Amino acid sequence: MRIDVLTLFPAMLDGFLSESILGRARERGQVEVAVHNIRDWATDKHRTTDDRPLGGGAGMVMKCEPIFAAIEAVQTPGCRRIYLTPDGVPFTAARAEALSHESHLVFLSGHYEGIDQRIRDTVIDEELSIGDYVLTNGTLAAAVVIDALARFVPGVLGEEKSLTHESFTRCLLDFPQYTRPATYRGMAAPEVLLSGNHTAIEKWRREQQERKTARLRPDLLSKN
Ligand SMILES: C[S@@+](CC[C@H](N)C(=O)[O-])C[C@H]1O[C@@H](n2cnc3c(N)ncnc32)[C@H](O)[C@@H]1O
């Protein structure tokens, strides 16, 4: 899979792209990510990427020219161009999985008051929000979406089965996890986990998932 990120702040992604699971996925060639500075496509002397809103009002708006040029430079036939925005469709695990099947994704991160609507109307295929809050720019939002979808790319997570019980798979939150020692500071892990009885362990975990989901996210149960 190929991913291009268009942002005014490429350095924000340095650590994210080189560390941990995503860093290894890139080294192995499972996910190829290129980060571009939108300013490189600004053509005026001051390399301007924003201007005052037409009609007046506070803040600045990202201009058409550099963004159209940036998208046209990196896009390929059939690629999916995604704008990160708080008024986009809420991003979910299901969407992450679907996007992991694409061969080329282009992520556009906005700044200031956002981007000129004509960009959204013509060269964007999908708009995603990572939550009901407003970030200063979309670079971290792009990182969140990339991280979540990369986990679904075959081979990226060493153990494929670690996806099967995750929160949101089958509309349930994850069960509580324990590791050694079995008792720590007087707190004992549930006995069933030490029983070696896999049927009983599965049953206990499923019950825990259902109970936790009912308590914290009852809305998920109605999607089952
Ligand atoms: C300050 S925000 C613009 C907010 C916009 N004026 C609004 O009220 O919807 C600047 C940029 O951050 C990004 N951004 C902010 N919050 C986001 C969110 N919850 N999800 C995805 N992107 C977000 C977008 O790329 C946006 O263009």
Is residue 55 domain-shared with residue 98, that is, in the same domain? Answer: yes
In a domain, 156, yes or no: no
Residue 113 half-sphere exposure, CB side, CA atoms within 13 Å?
14
Total tally of structural domains belonging to the chain:
2
Given the CA of residue 128, which atom of ligand 1 is nearest to it? 21
In a domain, 155, yes or no: no
* Residue 62 CA from chain centroid, whole number: 22
Considering only CA atoms, give the Rg of the chain.
22
Tens digits of residue pLDDT in 189-199: 999 999 999 99
Is residue 86 domain-shared with residue 127, that is, in the same domain? Answer: yes
Ligand 1 centroid – CA 53 distance (Å) = 16
Ligand 1 centroid – CA 132 distance (Å) = 10
For ligand 1, whether the C-beta of 60 sits within 6 Å is no
Integer Cα distance of 120 and 113 in angstroms? 14
Domain of 173 in residue numbering reads as 164-221
Tens digits of residue pLDDT in 102-122: 999 999 999 999 999 999 999
Does the pLDDT at position 81 exceed 60?
yes
pTM of the model as a whole: 0.95
Is residue 143 domain-shared with residue 43, that is, in the same domain? Answer: yes
For ligand 1, whether the C-beta of 7 sits within 6 Å is no
User: What is residue 29's predicted lDDT score, i.e. its pLDDT?
Assistant: 95
